[in-house]
Structure 1
Amino acid sequence: MGADDSQKTILIVDENPIYRLALADLLQKQGLAPKVYSTGSVEEARQEVSARRLKLVILDLSLPDHAALDLLQFVKEQQPACKGIMLLQGRFNDELMAAIRMEADGFLTKNHTPEEMVTLVHRVLQGQMVISDSLTNILALTLRNGGTENEEKNTDSLTSREQEVLGYIASGLSNKAIAARLSITDGTVKVHVKHMLKKLGFRSRVEAAVWASERGFRSPGAGVPDPGRKF
């Protein structure tokens, strides 16, 4: 993170005051942001997004009336560079598919230890797609029910470079990191990703990552870290 990014803040939106305040205190004390704000009010959250320079917003997907999705969309419109993490608990609903399609940068549960949560949030801030291991099967099932995996996927249609990029995406690397590995520009990586998604019939990077990871597509030497899986 550059000096400019280090001045940006984190916003947590969760109706549970004990959880959100504890998480905010944890992330701030660990130095992930100079200040971490938290609120249980959707309207207050929108005001914070408009007033502050954010590098990460953490949203409880169970917020009523699709509020988490609306907030994620609002953040992407107001601050495109801001990362978004969705917190999941209890029953998983149709909103999960919408969050996947909106390309949230992480899907985490509330059951991680403080050390695990700090590690996972840090990975998202570094540009990685991170999913709690316990959510991997849930996400895959959601994608299947949403029709993503019901269609035939033919990776033979991909060029060798596109297959490499798919493996790196499944391993959690950002476009910038992929570009460095392949000695090409970020723009070239974006083109490869766009073509790969179109050929495989995916609408988002997350869908491709979950699908590819389940089928063993991994970049050379990449492992699956605990406690969260990078995609």
Structure 2
Amino acid sequence: MTRVVLADDQDLMRGGLKVILESEPGMTVVGEARTGDDAVRLVAELEPDVICLDVQMPDVDGLEAARRIAALGSRTAVLILTTFDRDDYLFEALRAGASGFLLKNASPEKLIEAVQTVAAGDALLAPDVTRRVIQRFASGRVAVPDPAVDSLTEREREVLGLVAKGMTNAEIARALFLGEATVKTHVSKVLLKLGLRDRIHAVVYAHERGLMPG
């Protein structure tokens, strides 16, 4: 059972998210928070698998909440739900150690997939978020070669390029006609060979090294 906490100051938003997530077998909402303080407290008390965290909340905002959750040493994955009202919020959350980013106007299927992805220990970036990360962290930079890239197989480079486009393992599997487990293995090998923490850093790395697919 994937256990989720929802943190959003809008009751209607939390209610809608709860209905969507609990429509998925094996997923349950174990707590709801209206403030960042409450979010951190619930993570400490309940140790959920995932917290869906809004950025703009009273008292303590989502960014500070994400930092405090990271400081707890919690195994809870942080999934940021954003409307892009402030781009800088997104990148502060990235630095705070969030595992995933999703737009609030994403489809119910994308929300469920995002929660499942970060609960499994993977990181996720929505395609729109990927573009913004690339623009902020790599805009205007000249591609920097890295000898470690030579250790990648042709298939691993192909998978890295699709990860850099913001595609999930399931989407990559469909694009390359591979099993999802095979894709996950390729991604793990890419991160290990390149010394990258997660998919988010793989996006920035691929752009910096000129490995983005055309």
Provide the TM-score with structure 1 as the length reference: 0.67
Conserved? CA contact 2:47–2:75, under 8 Å: no
Q: 1:158 aligns with which of 139, 148, 155?
A: 148
**1:138-193: per-residue Cα shift (whole Å, max 9, x none)?**
2222224xxxx4444422432422587676555256xx9778449xxx7x876534
Conserved? CA contact 1:155–1:163, under 8 Å: no
Rounded to whole Å, the distance in 2 between the matches of 1:169 and 1:77 is: 30
Aligned to 1:118: 112
Rounded to whole Å, the distance in 1 between the matches of 2:59 and 2:152 is: 39
Moved more, 25-34 or 109-118: 25-34
Rounded to whole Å, the distance in 2 between the matches of 1:204 and 1:118 is: 20
Task: Give the residue type in structure 1 aligned to 2:144.
Answer: N
Aligned to 1:128: 122
Rounded to whole Å, the distance in 1 between the matches of 2:57 and 2:158 is: 34
Aligned to 1:142: 136
Conserved? CA contact 1:83–1:125, under 8 Å: yes
Q: Give the drift of 1:111.
A: 0.7
Task: Give the residue type in structure 2 aligned to 1:63.
Answer: M
**Alignment map for 1:1-231 (pairs within 5 Å):** 6=1, 9-63=3-57, 67-144=61-138, 149-161=139-151, 168=159, 171=163, 180-181=185-186, 192-194=193-195, 206-210=200-204, 212=206, 215-217=210-212
Structure 1 counterpart SS, 2:106: coil
Closer, same or farther: CA 82–139 of 1 in aligned 2, 3 Å: same
Q: Give the drift of 1:56.
A: 0.4
Conserved? CA contact 2:148–2:194, under 8 Å: no
Provide the TM-score with structure 2 as the length reference: 0.71
Conserved? CA contact 2:36–2:59, under 8 Å: no
Structure 1 counterpart SS, 2:87: coil
